[in-house]
């Protein structure tokens, strides 16, 4: 599947994947110089790219496991969503979960993008729902006792 990418800056890096079967494509910080993220601070990091995600798909932005575990840096919204009709610059809201300041280098891999299909649904109001064994049991209701 082809995903069109428009460079908004000459130094932007087209997403890459680390191995042949990797689901995620690395997104690179498109910044002029090293950037500091203070403890528990969130900064919007540009990647210098706009994309044309195909209709019926979404680009989901996830943490890079190494960055999250080694530096405590991960998307603030947990999973970012790039809709197929969005044509602006893709940004990553990177949050520092650690207690020390962290640095992001120019063209550092900061997140990963997974392009995935989704279902379009409609919601229909109803006075009743089908009964199930679980019923209204919520958080933790299916765990062991």
pLDDT tens digits for 114-133?
Answer: 999 999 999 999 999 999 98
pLDDT at 43: 98
Inside any domain, residue 125: no
With respect to residue 145, please indicate whether it lies within any of the assigned structural domains: no
Alpha-carbon span 8 to 115, nearest angstrom = 20
Rounded to whole angstroms, the Cα distance separating 82 from 65 reads 20
> What mean pLDDT do residues 19-36 have?
97
90 vs 53: CA distance, rounded Å: 12
| Residue at 135 is within a domain | no
* Residue 32 falls inside a structural domain: yes
Residue 101 CB-density burial (10 A; 0-12 exposed, 13-18 middle, 19+ buried): exposed
| Full residue range of the structural domain in which residue 27 is found | 4-117
* Alpha helices in the chain, H assignment, sequence order: 65-71
- Per-residue pLDDT, 137: 82
Q: What band does 134 get if pLDDT is binned at 50, 70 and 90?
A: confident
Of 104, 106, 60, 52, give the one whose Cα is nearest residue 81. Answer: 60
Q: What is the CATH number of the domain that holds 26?
A: 2.70.40.10
Question: Does a structural domain hold residue 75?
Answer: yes
Q: Is residue 31 part of a domain?
A: yes
Query: Is 69 in a helix, a strand, or coil?
Result: helix
Total domains, the chain = 1
User: Is residue 87 assigned to a domain?
Assistant: yes
pLDDT score, position 145: 56
- Dihedral angle over CA of 26, 99, 106, 109, nearest 10: -10
Which carries the bigger pLDDT value, residue 138 or residue 95? 95
Tokens of 137: 């049991």
**pLDDT over 80 at 103, yes or no:** yes
Looking at residue 144, its pLDDT comes to 62
Q: Is residue 141 part of a domain?
A: no
């Amino acid at each position: 599947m082809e995903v069109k990418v428009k460079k908004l800056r000459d130094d932007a890096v087209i997403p890459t994947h680390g191995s042949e079967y990797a689901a995620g494509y690395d997104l690179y910080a498109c910044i002029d110089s090293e950037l500091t993220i203070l403890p528990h601070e969130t900064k919007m990091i540009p990647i210098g790219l706009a994309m044309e995600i195909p209709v019926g798909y979404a680009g989901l932005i996830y943490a890079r496991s190494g960055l999250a575990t080694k530096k405590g840096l991960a998307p603030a919204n947990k999973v970012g969503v790039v809709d197929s009709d969005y044509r602006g610059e893709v940004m990553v809201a990177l949050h520092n979960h650690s207690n020390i300041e962290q640095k992001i280098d120019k063209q550092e891999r900061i997140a990963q993008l997974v392009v995935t299909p989704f279902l379009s649904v409609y919601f229909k109001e109803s006075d009743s729902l089908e009964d199930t064994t679980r019923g209204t049991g919520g958080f933790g209701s299916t765990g062991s006792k």
